[in-house]
Amino acid sequence: MNLKQRFQLSRFITGEKPVDDAIILTHRRIFILPTQRGWAMLLLMVILLLIAFVYNNNLTYLLTFLIASVFFITILHTFKSLAGLVVQAGQTQAVFAGEAAGFDIHIHNPNANERPHCQIKLTKPQSFTLKPYSKTTQTLYSLTQKRGWHSVGTVTVFSTYPLGLFYAWSPLRFNSQTLVYPKPSPLELPFPDSPSADSEQGLSHKGTDDFYGLQEYQAGDSIKHIHWKAFAKGQGLYSKQYSGAKNSAEVWLHYDDAIGHDTEQRLSQLCRWVVDAERADIRYGLVLPTVKLPPDCGSAHYRQCLEALALL
Amino acid sequence: MNTPHYKNILIFLLTSVGLIVLPHVANIPPAMFGFFCLMLGWRFAGIWQPQYLPTTRLLYFLMLFALILLVSHQHRGLLGRDAGTNLFILALGLKLLEIKTERDIYLVVFLAFIVAASLFLYQQSLFMAAYILAVCCVLFATLVAINSIQIHTRAALKTAAVILLQAMPMATVIFVLFPRVEAPRWMLFEEKNKAKIGLSDSMEPGSISDLGTSEELVFRVKFTGAIPPPKYRYWRGPVLSYTDGKRWTQTNSQRFKAQLAKPSYAGTAYSYTLLMEAQEKNWVFALDIPAQYASPLEQNGHYQLINPENPHKRTEYQITSYTQYNTGYLTQLEYQDSTQLPSEPSDKIKQLVSQLHGFDDKPENFISQTLNHFKTEDFHYTLTPPLMEENPIESFLFNTKRGFCSHYASAFVYLMRTAHIPARVVTGYQGGKFNTVGNFLEIQQAHAHAWAEVWIENQGWARVDPTAAVAPERIEQQLDINLLELGSDIRFETSNSQQQENWLKQMSQLWNNADYQWQRWVVNYDSSNQSDFLSSFGIHDFKAMMKWLMALVGLITVLLALLLLYQKKKAIDPALRLYQQFCQKLQPAGLIRTDREGAMDFAQRAKLALPEQTEAIDHITNAFIQLHYGRVSTREDFVTFAKLVGGFKLNDRRLE
């Protein structure tokens, strides 16, 4: 690191370049400044020194110097409460846009000294303690807004232990990302009756002939099964249930079928359909301008579809 | 903020605040102290019953009340020590009721530190310092507790104590090297010392006996060389020449002779350091009589040392005295002063003087006759002599015959003057308690004494102590104050009881010595002391002082950093080290174990690559897992494992 890099302001606030590996907190990464209370303590020392000076009182001098030394030594103690910690980014979980993404951060104390009070912060600070030679995992949450890859940002490990007079912090950046799915549309729309799925619908219609009964409309029910007559009478939405219809229903979720002014709205609608279909246990396929995923269900397929939506 | 955590912090805080204000009970008006106790008690109750804490309106009312209290007690001015102390204590008390956030707790702690400092303005004893240190530890522990997730009282106290201990070397260095500059006069808030007992500038028979049992320390003396024998330990104070028959006072001639002639000295020179406690008067009690002394000391015409600028605090002086001296001739003025009598002596006294050959013999003979008279007649030495309202000297000499040193001295001088021999009363202290631990003399108020001085041809002023004639033990031995009881005859410590020194006495000597060293080196460490002390290390000027201060603070920081930040890594399991050797042996075959690969996975991979070594790899891997992760492993297991690893070899064939 050259001198210019060493004194870049961003190093103190956002941290150095993101890394994959574990980061060991050393003097290069830990910064320290007095807190507001620390500055107040300095003021206290000035007052005490003034008293000692005016009254020429040696014991007040001694008390002042003792407090000053404690103040000074606290720098070392606060630094010590962070020094040597090994911080590593762990797993992440994909979320829908608008939800908080969770990042696991593993913190390992490889030394014999206890860490009575450290804090870690992404958006909100969390406290933790570490016994000698122990590990902890903290899950940090940050709010997501847009679909796509969301990187963790700057994780700050900090401490004001033991006296709260100094704030030692270490801004860390990891190459840790989480996938953010589009936000499911709040509109509950029936699945599209897509023509592109015709060839396969023959199979699925096999058991749909035997009328079984009516059921209140549930998200994911095919538009074809809606009991329109009842709806027209104002009795509400009902789906016709056919024996054997379960699990065999299949929908094609086509990008062009999704209504919306722009891509995001369409994706949002598609996302909602995917979620509804998965919940209703319906086989669903996804057709996007660039990707085509054949109908299937199950969590792997679900994830695949959402990923495709997130990364379009 | 009402968790158990917070409650604990409050208990911590309130206890330490209470402890810090407690010693002020003697220093502040009772109403203030009561008010503070009320606030503290209220807040304590508030920990468990928060609903009873005062509302904002009530707090304003309390504040107003405190303000009235403050103003009503400020007849001594609005600035200064007492006013400041009162202000801070009331502020602290009020702030206690208003603790809402963590910030308030810090404010209370900081206020408590200021109150701690104000305690030192009243008392600077070693005991007080230790007490404040202990309370500071509790205050810091409060801060530790706030910054901890869970509170373990003992752990917080321990952390605070450790930090304080680590801070001490640095504090000491700064204390020694921090430049002491005298505050400018206008900044000093000098307070009138409270009326203190001590020698006064006049004497009436019996006045000194008021000091008789007071153990209050007046000064301490440490001799650099020889120590004078007890019979020479007279510490000279004011000389009283004028009498109205009852009262003895100083005369104006005292400034006079100082300019004219110096006495001639003989015998041993006694050099000593005299540490005077704060005095109301500017007298410095030197060993009779002082010969060399440094400014600001001055000597008056009565060979008494004076510090014209009475410092009103403990001060140290370097003095050299001689116990054998000749003051030379007598001036006309001195003669007048020292033969003055209020009126013609009564016939009864004249008769006594002539009976003792005062009018027809040499002065020396008359003196010894008079002393002999005290010795042989029925004279007694007592702390509680009968009251002698009218004509005290006559009634003492002929009726009561009981008195303290002042009765004897004044009666003796009166008799001398009746015989036209110049004589005067000298007051001061006599003797002193020898502290064997610290090798110094402690002079207490109880050692106050009065004796006589007679001018004799070719000798000058000579000391005559009539008390010694009546109670020689008073001079030769130490007065044991602990055994003194008013009204009873005075007992003196005999050598027998001295031998039976018990541990209690030794302890008290040890403590007195510690206190002496504390006063001398810490409390009294002023600019002149500092420059003397630092000069002995070759540090002469401000610049050098600053350099040394920086260097030493830096050095201590480095040492502390080494001590604190040295982190012991966990010892690596020897089994792991052997296993790593094994992995290294596999490297030539292109098998490199990654960090995240477990031993089992790696073994799988190795077996695939080296099918002919399957057995060896399995053995080693299993043994390693057993040793490294297993609960029970014996020494033999390890030896076997070591052999296995040692014996493992890649097939040469593969390498070729």
Q: Decide the pairing of beta strands B423-430 and A135-143.
A: unpaired
Q: Tell if the CB–CB gap between A70 and B146 is shorter than 8 Å.
A: no
Q: Tell if the CB–CB gap between B565 and A56 is shorter than 8 Å.
A: no
Q: How far is B112 from chain A (nearest CA, A)?
A: 11
Both B212 and B125 in a single domain? no
- The answer as to whether B169 is a domain residue is no
Give the Cβ contact number of residue B429 at 10 Å: 22
Alpha carbon B480 to its chain centroid, in Å, reads: 24
Top pLDDT among A241 and A8 is at A8
Give yes or no for B159 touching A (CB within 8 A): yes
- The answer as to whether B212 is a domain residue is yes
Q: What is the pLDDT of residues B145-181, one digit of tens each?
A: 888 887 788 888 999 999 999 999 999 999 999 988 7
**Predicted confidence band at B195 (pLDDT cuts at 50, 70, 90)?**
very low
| Side-chain-facing half-sphere of B609: CA atoms under 13 Å | 18
* Listed residues B499, B531, B553: the one ending a domain: B499
- The answer as to whether B177 is a domain residue is no
Residues of A in contact with B565 (CB under 8 A): 76, 79-80, 83
Q: Tell if the CB–CB gap between B117 and A48 is shorter than 8 Å.
A: yes
**Total of domains in chain B:** 3
ipTM, 2 dp: 0.79
Residues of B in contact with A83 (CB under 8 A): 565, 567
Both B351 and B256 in a single domain? yes
Q: Tell if the CB–CB gap between A37 and B103 is shorter than 8 Å.
A: yes
Residue B513 corresponds to which tokens in the numbers above? Answer: 């010595």
Q: What is the pLDDT of residue B476?
A: 54
- The answer as to whether B186 is a domain residue is no
Both B100 and B233 in a single domain? no
Both B621 and B481 in a single domain? no
* Listed residues B460, B480, B499: the one ending a domain: B499
Of B167, B187, B522, the CB nearest to A54: B187
Q: What is the pLDDT of residues B597-625, one digit of tens each?
A: 778 888 888 888 888 888 888 888 888 88
Both B132 and B241 in a single domain? no
Q: Tell if the CB–CB gap between B121 and A164 is shorter than 8 Å.
A: no
Of B140, B170, B565, the CB nearest to A80: B565
Q: Tell if the CB–CB gap between B149 and A66 is shorter than 8 Å.
A: no
Q: Tell if the CB–CB gap between B117 and A51 is shorter than 8 Å.
A: yes
**Considering only A283-297, B374-388, B511-525, which range has the smallest mean pLDDT?**
B374-388
Closest residue of B to A68, CA-based? Answer: B171
Q: Which of B570, B575, B578 is nearest to B635 (CA)?
A: B575
Given strand B286-287, what is the order of strands in its sheet? B286-287, B234-240, B423-430, B448-456, B460-464
| Domain positions in chain A | 3-181, 195-311
- The answer as to whether B622 is a domain residue is yes
Top pLDDT among B286 and A235 is at B286
Residue-by-residue DSSP string for B502-561: -HHHHHHHHHHHHHHHHIIIIIT--HHHHHHHHHTTT--SHHHHHHHHHHHHHHHHHHHH
What is the residue-averaged pLDDT of chain A? 83
Single-letter amino acid code for the residue at A110: P
Both B208 and B136 in a single domain? no
Task: Kindly calculate the radius of gyration of chain B based on its CA atoms and give it in whole angstroms.
Answer: 39
B246: containing domain: 202-499
- The answer as to whether B534 is a domain residue is no
Which segments of chain A are extended strands (E)?
A: 23-24, 31-34, 86-92, 95-96, 100-108, 115-121, 125-130, 135-143, 148-151, 154-159, 166-173, 177-181, 211-216, 238-242, 250-254, 283-287, 292-296
Both B270 and B373 in a single domain? yes
Give yes or no for B571 touching A (CB within 8 A): no
Both B111 and B256 in a single domain? no
| Alpha-helix residue ranges (DSSP H) falling in B392-526 | 392-395, 405-418, 466-470, 472-476, 495-499, 503-518
Question: Does residue A197 register a pLDDT over 50?
Answer: no
Percentage of residues of chain B with pLDDT beyond 70: 85
CA–CA separation, B630 vs B624, rounded Å? 9
Residues of B in contact with A112 (CB under 8 A): 567-568, 570
Mean pLDDT of B390-394: 80
Both B256 and B108 in a single domain? no
- The answer as to whether B509 is a domain residue is no
Of B170, B183, B568, the CB nearest to A69: B170
Q: Tell if the CB–CB gap between A66 and B136 is shorter than 8 Å.
A: yes
Q: Tell if the CB–CB gap between B189 and A162 is shorter than 8 Å.
A: no
Both B123 and B226 in a single domain? no
Question: Does residue B143 register a pLDDT over 50?
Answer: yes
Q: How far is A137 from chain B (nearest CA, A)?
A: 17
Looking at the domain that runs over A3-181, which CATH code has it been given?
2.60.40.10
Residues of A in contact with B569 (CB under 8 A): 110-111
Q: Tell if the CB–CB gap between B565 and A83 is shorter than 8 Å.
A: yes
Segment holding B638, helix H or strand E: helix B635-647
Question: Does residue A65 register a pLDDT over 90?
Answer: yes
Give yes or no for B562 touching A (CB within 8 A): no
Residue B456 corresponds to which tokens in the numbers above? Answer: 């004799």
Q: Tell if the CB–CB gap between B166 and A73 is shorter than 8 Å.
A: yes
Please identify among residues 60-119 of chain B the ones whose CB lies closer than 8 Å to any CB of chain A. Answer: 81, 102-103, 106-107, 110, 113-114, 116-118
* Listed residues B147, B163, B189: the one ending a domain: B147
Give yes or no for B523 touching A (CB within 8 A): yes
Both B240 and B359 in a single domain? yes
- The answer as to whether B31 is a domain residue is yes
Q: Tell if the CB–CB gap between B114 and A57 is shorter than 8 Å.
A: no
Residues of B in contact with A37 (CB under 8 A): 103, 106
